[in-house]
Chains A and B, each alone.
Chain A
Amino acid sequence: MKVQDHVKLYRREDYEKLFRDKREFECPYPEEEVKKVEEYTKTEEYREKNFNRKALTINPAKACQPLGAVLCALGFKDTMPFVHGSQGCVAYFRSHLSRHFKEPVPAVSTSMTEDAAVFGGLSNMIEGLENAYALYKPKMFAISTTCMAEVIGDDLNAFIKKAKQQGIIPEDLPTPYANTPSFTGSHINGYDAMLKGILSYATQGLRAIKGEKINLILGFDTYSGNYREIKRILNMMGVPHIILADISDSLDSPNFGDYEMYPGGTSLEELRDSINSKATLSLQKYSSLKTGEFIKESWGQPFVNVPYPIGIRNTDLFIDTVKDLTGKEIPQELIEERGRVVDAIIDSYAYIHGKRFALIGDPDLLLGLLSFILELGGIPVHIVCTNGDEDFEREAYALLQREPLFGSEGKVYIKKDMWHLRSLLFTEPVDLLIGNSYCKALWKDTGIPLIRVGFPIFDRHHMHRYPILGYQGALNLLTLIVNTVLDELDRETKDSPSFDVIR
């Protein structure tokens, strides 16, 4: 039997008729008017109106702080992300992360309701800690807040202290916390706040004894493959290291027919040891602003930002920085790997040179992608960053100006959303669009092929398991970009003599 599901069903004549007949009750606008408005939304005039919006946000490329805090918490072993506030938020964080990683995501809420809005959430916090500890036996609670708890001004620290005084949870159970109001910043700031909270709690009262390791912060990075790749490079170089908030095993765990709630993450021993490292290297500046300040001031440890190592130059810079920090040599194997990827780029550049790109995503990701596109001879045209600030804007322009031949056309739009980008794509078309899964709406409207990079990626499987960092990541991205161009070329030429088999 040939089963027809939604993909085929609604193109069948009986359903086409059903849709037509249903219009009688829908009272729709006439088709000509819909067409007219659709065309109008593609114009310069509409673009101007669109960019004049002051209050209305449409399809923003950012999430809220506690989501970042939960992701950060998941990067530590035996740690339960614990969110103080309304329970719906936690249901959303879990769903959202699961849809991207295709993995279980544990997190608990204190389920605050109206009475907590009036009396405060102390009893919710206490009962929440008691229940979660009994059921899930974490070795650490990483506590963050939803906007409800922030608006009513719950005092996290006092609440946690009280829970411990009452013997609800052991005195020595680590309970780092962070205030993560969703009405400031975005998921990258929540990540930063939680990481700072965890580091400061875990190393409180400890005195640094300088060791040989270096700490790595990847930031709000949703590629489990990136963590594995960075570890592989460091191991290859023989660099002892601690990856802070390592989600690679907690959000990409093997299937052994058994569910484990805490399958991976930075161990609590490593966490406490991180104060002793030689230096901390952050790959995402904008995801670690507060954490960086803390490490410099409280640990007295060098805190070094390198650009997100996307592409050859950024990876070189990353590896050179590691070399400088540790005195370790770059192994031949890595040099050869670099050579192979550069060779691949040279084999493919012809299809990317001069291609015009639009990009949307988080600030560090965008800076990394920009650098790579410029290396390939691509032309970044629209760079949209919903959660970017003026510092990011300056940095992005500086990067573009470094390669005037390819970068001079690029325009950076901070605090703008995907609906702004839609206007940009219609009035100043480009060849390729880079962004998350939600950008498929832009692909649908404009026909510009979408290269899925960033978060969330819901509609393609396993992309997050492949690194986009390091030389290997550059090869993966290159393959993705060039093959998107080639797919598009086939589509474009399939009814013409140019439909070649060798490209």
Chain B
Amino acid sequence: MTRIIEQDTQRIVDEVLEVYPEKTKKERKKHLLANDPECSSSTCGLKSNVKSRPGVMTSRGCAYAGSKGVVWGPIKDMIHISHGPVGCGQYSWWSRRNYYTGKTGINAFGAMHITSDFQENDIVFGGDKKLEQLCREIREIFPLAKGISIQCECPVGLIGDDIESVARKMTKELGIPVIPVRCEGFRGISQSLGHHIANDSIRDWVLGKVKGILEKETPYDVLILGDYNIGGEAWSSRKILEEMGLRVIAQIPGDCTLNELTNMPRPKLILVHCYRSTNYIARYMEENFGIPWMEYNFFGPTKIYESMRKIAKRFDEKIIEQTEKVIEKYKPLMDSVIEQYRPRLEGKRVMLYVGGLRPRHIVGAYEDLGMVVVATGYEFAHRDDYERTYPELPKNSLIYDDPPHYELENFADALKPDLVGSGIKEKYVYHKMGIPFRQMHSWDYSGPYHGFDGFPVFARDMDMAVNNPSWKLIRRKGR
């Protein structure tokens, strides 16, 4: 069944583009599209993964955000140095909600800000000496840290520091791996290159270099890749896999230890959650270790059942049977969530703008609740993300790539969504517009939204946003 939304998407796009200077208009036009689920890159060809135009107020971040903030930051038993001036580490401190167990500051270091706090002298004379000293001090102050990663900020690459040498020297001297990550913020055009650089540094500095322990292997070993455990969602996914009879030998990188990273070459199957940020290492494992990988989506019952069956099929009858049992166990609960919330949300229009995978992954969960996604888009997606997106969305829904504030505000005016799902920079804009909003990066300090334990929370929160009475208190100017 083709789902169609009745809206004049192309006209809306043309009108919003009107205000741009010629050059930027021409460029932005290529990043906007009325969806056709039959789309392919050759027929639709939405442009993506190119530079944001200066001055437009993009929501995008940088390579450092993609590496320190996303991929490396959640590895909990290592120290991640924000190497450079104080700001980057300050603004990314304890903000992403990648939950972990452990004692912060003792054997886990996630919710901390560790920095070399560059001063003018470090810029003029270089920061390598300071970095060496800093690594030694980490060893003293945090004796249980299993390793160190050096997350570069802009100046490091510009002044030509040789952090790789420091890393090699310190690895030897301190007896724990010290890993250089060249994720200076000016590299690339968004967080995306930071993911890639972080993946490469795992490949080059962990795999085959750091010895890990895994006592035994079983035919049911899998690895969760690219789940950041926002609000603990990797745990609610892990629970499903374990109930299916699988053994999760590593959960990367949410609530992950260095040892789990070293388990990368050991599973029978790699389960990829955020394709965008971890496909690089998944492909590498496939090409070099022959380990297959597949994507899955544990958002909303329809997609959960579908993904569970798809995963089970990769194993034997025993797992397939057990999987059906698990589905049977949870289905009544899922049905009751839908029964309770769907009548309150049926037909509500949703506009999304998020990061790596959610603009497509959460569509099914909204549809389970009877909601319609009228527009979606990514901050830093590539062509392959959009190819995965077209079939998930109704015909005529609007797809935007890296839309600046101006476009989002105007699209919301034109599309009149009942709910917007985006980030902190967007949240209060929509509050002022009187449009219900949920942060879909951090789950708005709620969650988890994945898995059987997550869906009831998701449904509750969406209902709460759309149906809270406070929206009715707004008295519009001049009315």
Contacts and interface: CB of A to CB of B under 8 A. Distances in A.
A445 B409 CA distance: 43
A343 to B, nearest CB: 36
Nearest to B117: A57
B93 A38 contact: no
Interface stretch (B81-89, B269-277, B346-354): B81-89
Interface string B402-438: 0011100100000000000001110111111110000
Interface centre among B60, B101, B260 (most CB of A within 10 A): B101
B186 A258 contact: no
A280 to B, nearest CB: 29
A349 B155 CA distance: 51
Interface string B246-257: 001111000101
A148 B213 contact: no
Given A22-B251, A38-B106, A95-B95, A87 B85 contact: no
B144 A135 contact: no
Interface string A41-58: 100000001100111111
B448 A6 contact: yes
Interface string B452-464: 0100110110000
Contacts of A164: none
A146 interface: yes
A344 to B, nearest CB: 32
B159 interface: yes
Contacts of A4: 453, 456-457
Contact of B87 (A49, A92, A95): A92
A110 B55 contact: yes
B154 A147 contact: yes
B239 A99 contact: no
A257 B430 CA distance: 9
B174 interface: no
- Chain A CB within 10 Å, residue with most, of B141, B213, B430, B433: B141
A9 B475 contact: no
Contact of A132 (B55, B105, B138, B140): B55
Interface string B114-149: 111111101100000011011001101101100000
Contacts of A128: 54-55
A104 B94 contact: no
Most buried by A among B112, B186, B238: B186
Contact of A56 (B137, B430, B475, B477): B137
Contacts of B115: 57, 60
Contact of A87 (B61, B92, B232, B249): B61
A142 interface: no
A62 interface: yes
What's the interface size class on B, roughly? 35 or more
Nearest to B461: A5
Interface stretch (A178-186, A218-226, A301-309, A391-399): A178-186
A451 to B, nearest CB: 19
Interface in A1-39: 1, 3-6, 9-10, 14-15, 18-19, 21-22, 24-29, 33-34, 37-38
A255 interface: yes
Given A62-B86, A131-B53, A91 B106 contact: no
A67 B87 contact: yes
A94 B87 contact: no
Given A49-B141, A148-B186, A259-B409, A127 B428 contact: no
A29 B144 contact: yes
Nearest to B57: A108
Contacts of B118: 147, 182-183
A123 B8 CA distance: 36
Q: Interface residue tally of chain A, by bracket?
A: 35 or more
Interface stretch (A111-119, A228-236, A330-338): A111-119
A111 B58 contact: yes
Contacts of A55: 116, 130-131, 133-134, 137
Contacts of A262: none
Interface in B182-207: 185-189, 191
B140 A49 contact: yes
Contacts of B114: 56-58
A109 B56 CA distance: 8
A37 B106 contact: yes
B432 A259 contact: yes
Contacts of A60: 86, 90, 113, 115, 117
B447 interface: yes
Given A15-B235, A18-B235, A114-B186, A37 B249 contact: no
B257 A113 contact: no
13 contacts: A9-B232, A18-B238, A19-B235, A22-B255, A28-B107, A28-B257, A37-B107, A56-B138, A60-B113, A112-B54, A117-B186, A135-B55, A259-B429
Interface of A: 1, 3-6, 9-10, 14-15, 18-19, 21-22, 24-29, 33-34, 37-38, 41, 49-50, 53-60, 62-64, 66-67, 82, 85-89, 91-96, 98-99, 102-114, 116-117, 124-125, 127-136, 146-148, 151-152, 181-184, 186, 253, 255-260, 419, 422, 438, 441, 444-445
Given A1-B456, A62-B86, A258-B476, 4 more contacts: A56-B138, A98-B428, A127-B55, A184-B119
Q: What 10 pairs between A and B have smallest CB-CB spacing?
A: A88-B62, A64-B87, A128-B55, A128-B54, A92-B91, A27-B259, A132-B55, A131-B55, A182-B85, A257-B434
